[in-house]
Amino acid sequence: MTLILFFLLFTTSLLSVASDNLYVATQVRVESPGNLCNQLSEMQQDTCQSLIVSGKINSADIKVLRRMAGAEGSGSLRVLNLMDAEIVSSSEPYLTIQNAERYIIPRISIEKIQVLKNFPDGGMGMTEGELNHVNFILQNHPIEEQDKALLSLKKEWKKAIRQRRKIKGHRITDNKNGHFTYSAFTCKNMFCEDMFYGCRFLSLVILPRKGKIYDRIVVDGDLVNYKKVAIMKQK
């Protein structure tokens, strides 16, 4: 018999860490992947502040959650519980960033870490060891075109394209005009930080019990707290 820590369930169901206000959670079980938008009314999508999602979800569902959390549109979502959700693969992206070189720093050598200090979020929250295995660092603010360091990073983008570096669930496209497009897709049982990149209202996400966190993509200066509920098995 599995015992879930009841105080965490209570907390994630009713409380938001974003403020001192109390939120009553809306609960929804996705009947089939991509169907979340049909199971929440427009009013719920605009006003829901705490949401518990179960069932199988894909990129289309993540896009709905992103919109509810303020990435696009005027949602209000602050607390999201995905503990009983299962992420499945999708061929459609949940996130597409045009002119990606203005918002994303590609993997760089340790010798170039100093370059990061020229950027708004600077990678200062990560150690050299953590940066060493990361493929892309998403920034919360655009990199200014006049920044001289940007030119050297564009070379890194081209190098990544030439080497055909593949990152699970992600695709980088060279638009042949000095700009790049970053696309992210859901993969089976894989959670990635960029799922809620730019979600300005979101403060807490309870991660799915199934699967793992993909640590090759990080969001620098991310204000979202990601928590995994501990599960204990009774002997």
Average pLDDT on 202-215 reads 93
Candidates 224, 213, 206, 16; CA nearest to 134 is 213
Please report the pLDDT score of residue 229 as a whole number: 81
CA–CA separation, 28 vs 6, rounded Å? Answer: 20
Please report the pLDDT score of residue 129 as a whole number: 54
Largest CA distance in the chain: 62
Residue 214 has pLDDT above 50, yes or no: yes
Average pLDDT on 167-187 reads 89
Confidence of residue 145 (pLDDT cuts 50, 70, 90): low
Average pLDDT on 198-227 reads 90
Please report the pLDDT score of residue 8 as a whole number: 44
Please report the pLDDT score of residue 34 as a whole number: 98
Confidence of residue 176 (pLDDT cuts 50, 70, 90): confident
Q: Name the percent of the chain lying above pLDDT 90.
A: 45
pLDDT tens digits, 185-202? 999 999 999 999 999 999
Please report the pLDDT score of residue 62 as a whole number: 98
Please report the pLDDT score of residue 196 as a whole number: 96
Average pLDDT on 7-14 reads 43
Enter the pTM of the model: 0.79
Measure Cα distances from 27 to 41, 50, 54, 112 in Å: 13, 9, 8, 46
CA–CA separation, 60 vs 36, rounded Å? Answer: 8
Candidates 194, 148, 143, 144; CA nearest to 168 is 194
pLDDT tens digits, 71-121? 987 799 999 999 999 999 999 999 999 988 888 887 654 344 444 444 434
pLDDT tens digits, 30-81? 989 999 999 999 999 999 999 999 999 999 999 999 999 999 877 999 999 9
| CB-count exposure of residue 155 (10 Å: 0-12, 13-18, 19+) | exposed
158 versus 199: which is more confidently predicted?
A: 199
